[in-house]
Structure 1
């Protein structure tokens, strides 16, 4: 089972929500994301939010189309996206995708990036996706990556203070047993030169960002 979570970020940053590649997935709406799913004729299996970003008329539209709607208080310890992600992880899916978490407030975006860490603890891959980027977080080991014409550039950014033993194979700019630290831009904007490549490292937590222009 794959769970897609749609948050309330700018609509211009979203890929097509009705693409056939998502059609068998479970959808979850967060705040304005619930409204957008319903407007796209996508029925969310779960809805989270205080819904302070939509009008009363829009909220009435949401209430009419969802059998049960639990509205969380605006003042709470977790943001709505974290509540949705906690629920998604509890379902033990094979993958969680987060949409609508970029392009708006920077605090919300960086908070969403931090939430990717939850997947490492649960051994569930989480991707944060918008029209231009796919962000994922990885623990030490060897990881395979395939060419994707839609996201041709691949960057690696340390989430922990230090990444030890980083090796890139099948890339335009390969590395062998390298150390990268906070503040380094060495691994920004690489590309695969083969259909498949690998990145591996011995210690740390690494973010991979796949992008297009």
Structure 2
């Protein structure tokens, strides 16, 4: 399975970026200002995508001088830079896509980027949005998650109703029940086993893992 790391233009924690790079993704894509974050930790992407309206000219020149492939788009376009980066990752054969710089600062961007998880699934890939305190992904029909000390999770419908939700390894289990977007019953659950399982019969369920304990160090 080809793995990709996309670095967007939102807030990016340098330590987390280094950790993601240490996972050795086969494809690294910078979405516009994401190139600045990568240069800040001494790395170049394989591909830079966007209209580059928020990437300093010095950074753009540095990426071009390093031989990075640059896909430039006009500012007046229908897609966001992160959507273009996601489409590029899928076109390059990535099936496992991790995205930094897609959360925080602006709620409209965050909500739009959650929608990109749906787009990735429609294109046959799995994507995750990450920052130091959150990890967002879709449950699909079945999902297994390892427990994380100091972390909890919420289950949020992205469709008006999600049917047949079954969970295991969580403190507050669901046994084939329904979750509704208008009734946030799935907010804040806790791991009570080494792994948790989530099954969905119908609908789209967002899993939000979040840190309850402070980041060590």
TM-score (norm 1): 0.90
Q: Tell me the equivalent position of 1:155.
A: 154
Q: Which runs of 5+ in 1 are unaligned?
A: none
CA distance in 2, matches of 1:43, 1:68: 10
> Is the Cα contact below 8 Å between 1:120 and 1:138 reproduced in 2?
no
For each residue in 1:25-65, what CA deviation from the matched residue of structure 2 results, as whole angstroms up to 9, or x when unmatched? Answer: 42110111012212212221111011111333333333333
Q: CA deviation at 1:138?
A: 2.9
CA distance in 1, matches of 2:183, 2:162: 11
Q: Tell me the equivalent position of 2:143.
A: 143
Q: CA deviation at 1:24?
A: 4.2
Q: CA deviation at 1:15?
A: 5.0
> Is the Cα contact below 8 Å between 2:86 and 2:120 reproduced in 1?
no
Count the aligned residue pairs: 210
> Is the Cα contact below 8 Å between 1:30 and 1:80 reproduced in 2?
yes
For each residue in 1:89-137, what CA deviation from the matched residue of structure 2 results, as whole angstroms up to 9, or x when unmatched? Answer: 1233231011101112222111111010022223321111111111001
Query: Structure 1 residues 67 and 170 mapped into 2: Cα distance closer, same or farther (>3 Å)?
Result: closer
Which residues of 2 match residues 83-162 of structure 1 at below 5 A?
83-139=84-140, 141-149=141-149, 152-162=151-161
Q: How big is the alpha-carbon RMSD for the aligned residues of Structure 1 and Structure 2?
A: 1.8
Query: Structure 1 residues 166 and 107 mapped into 2: Cα distance closer, same or farther (>3 Å)?
Result: same
Bigger drift between 168-177 and 35-44 goes to 35-44
SS of match in other structure, 1:92: coil
> Is the Cα contact below 8 Å between 1:155 and 1:190 reproduced in 2?
yes
